[in-house]
């Protein structure tokens, strides 16, 4: 009985976050409240309508480093693994990150899972899907609409469905993200 109560309490907290807190247009208030659901680094910003899925609310399943930007309408699905986003990562609008998927080869529609690691200075363009078990290397760029099914080496540019390496990034990565709007509407 105790496990079901705990699962219900977790589901209720996530519902409150996704239905109410994620929609608060005042950035400072939303960021203050979001810290109860995930680990958020200094000067990082999680914009409005970023949906969080998780079986646990212990702040270790979804970790966001310093100077990161998670733009509106993203999905962070930490139900079956960790999502670890390092420093100075820019994730554009509508990106979905999954730690759980179904195995298409299973006779019983089983699931498979894996952690998602996004290293420093990665730029994920809009409407990207990142599947379980993927590591995106330092300084990489993922093109809009890509579906990332495998690891991406550092300083690579990847795009397509499924994502493939289409170039190398030539940058010293000296920047720090700095994005803090006061209001979102």
Which CATH number is associated with domain 1-168?
A: 2.160.10.10
Residue 185 scores a pLDDT above 70: no
Q: Are 118 and 148 in contact (CB under 8 A)?
A: no
Q: Using DSSP, state whether 128 is helix, strand or coil.
A: coil
**114-166: per-residue pLDDT in tens?**
999 999 999 999 999 999 999 999 999 999 999 999 999 999 999 999 999 99
Q: Which of 104, 107, 40, 106 is nearest to 76 (CA)?
A: 40
Averaged confidence pLDDT in the chain: 92
Q: Of all residues in the chain, what percent carry a pLDDT higher than 90?
A: 66
Neighbours of 18 (CB within 10 A): 17
Residue 184 is predicted with a pLDDT of 67
The residues annotated as belonging to the active site are 102
Q: What is the mean pLDDT of residues 76-101?
A: 96
pLDDT at 9: 85
Q: Which of 68, 117, 72, 67 is nearest to 97 (CA)?
A: 117
Structural domain spans, the chain: 1-168
d(CA 141, CA 148): 11
What would the pLDDT profile of 29-68 be if each residue is shown by its tens digit? 998 888 888 899 999 999 999 999 887 767 778 999 999 9
pLDDT surpassing 70 at residue 1: no
Confidence of residue 180 (pLDDT cuts 50, 70, 90): confident
Tally of residues, the chain: 185
The pLDDT of residue 6: 82
Please state the pTM of the whole predicted model.
0.92
């Amino acid at each position: 009985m105790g496990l079901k109560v705990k699962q219900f309490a977790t589901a209720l907290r996530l519902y409150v976050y996704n239905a109410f807190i994620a929609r608060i247009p005042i950035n400072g208030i939303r960021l203050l409240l979001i810290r109860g659901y995930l680990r958020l680094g200094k000067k990082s910003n999680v914009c409005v309508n970023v949906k969080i899925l998780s079986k646990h609310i212990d702040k270790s399943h979804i970790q966001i480093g310093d100077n990161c930007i998670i733009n509106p309408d993203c999905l962070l699905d930490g139900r079956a693994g960790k999502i670890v986003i390092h420093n100075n990562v820019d994730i554009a609008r509508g990106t979905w990150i999954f730690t759980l998927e179904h195995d298409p080869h299973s006779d019983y529609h089983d699931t498979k899972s894996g952690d998602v690691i996004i290293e420093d200075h990665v730029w994920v363009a809009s409407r990207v899907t990142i599947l379980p078990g993927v590591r995106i290397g330092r300084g990489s760029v993922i093109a809009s609409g890509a579906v990332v099914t495998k690891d991406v080496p550092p300083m690579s540019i990847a795009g397509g469905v499924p994502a493939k390496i289409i170039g190398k990034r030539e940058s010293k990565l000296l920047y720090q993200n700095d994005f803090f709007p006061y209001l979102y509407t």
